[in-house]
Structure 1
Amino acid sequence: MSIISESIQIRWADIDANRHLRHSVYYDYGASMRLKVLSERGLTTHKLEEFMIGPVLFREEAVFRREILFEDQIVLTVELVKASEDFGRWSLRHHFMKNGDTVAAIVNVDGAWIDLKQRKLAKPNDFIKNIFDGFPKAQDFQWVRPEQKA
């Protein structure tokens, strides 16, 4: 599968006192894109409720390279960087591309699945595994053993 990307429309409310994109907005855009991608592939909020499972993050990190201003044209991408073979643990990377060719920021997340009844980590079912298996994999993608943590 080719890389997943979407254009982002910067909102005035996303700009801080320094007149550039507020730091927490990068995380909001990443989360929205991840859930949109899952939903478009069939893992909707209704399915998550049916399975009584949800994604949970262990780490979310932003590396800021260039500031994003209100007028900038932004494209956000997502790719799978690491995963356990059962997709119980995974790492995703987002690139915020500014004006076509400049990496403005990189957001990395490490996650897993939580059983919403037991409130414990859960193994994904085949439906979820198939969706994650279809994610575009980064050039530096690697499979990890559970003890390595994604």
Structure 2
Amino acid sequence: MKEIRKESVLYMYQSLDELPLAVSNLMERAVEARKRAYAPYSKFQVGAALLLDNNEVITGNNQENASYPSGLCAERTAIYYAGSQYPNAKILKMAISAGASEKQTTKPIPPCGACRQSIAEYELKQESPIEIFFMGETGEIAKSNSLSNLLPFVFDKSEL
């Protein structure tokens, strides 16, 4: 038997004011998208904003459905729209803001497992990492230089 270790590295910003201006603006777009989320069941709204290499900004938010598996997360809504409308563009950065309507969310909320897998697919497709910034409604913002920090053992097309 041998031991395998994978290390994840995240960077923490104390507030939006610490972020570079371009990232702060992207996060504001994610916050705006979060406020438009359709989440009548979970009451947990998520917004995502993507910066593409063609300078387009794509936003998405979670869209719930009474048949729970039929809904879609904010990150995948944005990624799939970007892939549909700009198939040759690379995603450079992703900003995510999440919050519950029942209480204030003050810690960074990372993408769920399904979204991590989808982000991994696009990183592999474009052969370059996506910087991911995530936060609650307020408070600290976490930054990952690549999805590999959030999903160290990725399942990809090489397994098929």
What TM-score results when the alignment is normalised by the length of structure 2? 0.29
Greater fraction helix: 2
Higher relative contact order, chain-length normalized (CA < 8 Å, sep 6+): 1
Greater fraction strand: 1
What TM-score results when the alignment is normalised by the length of structure 1? 0.30
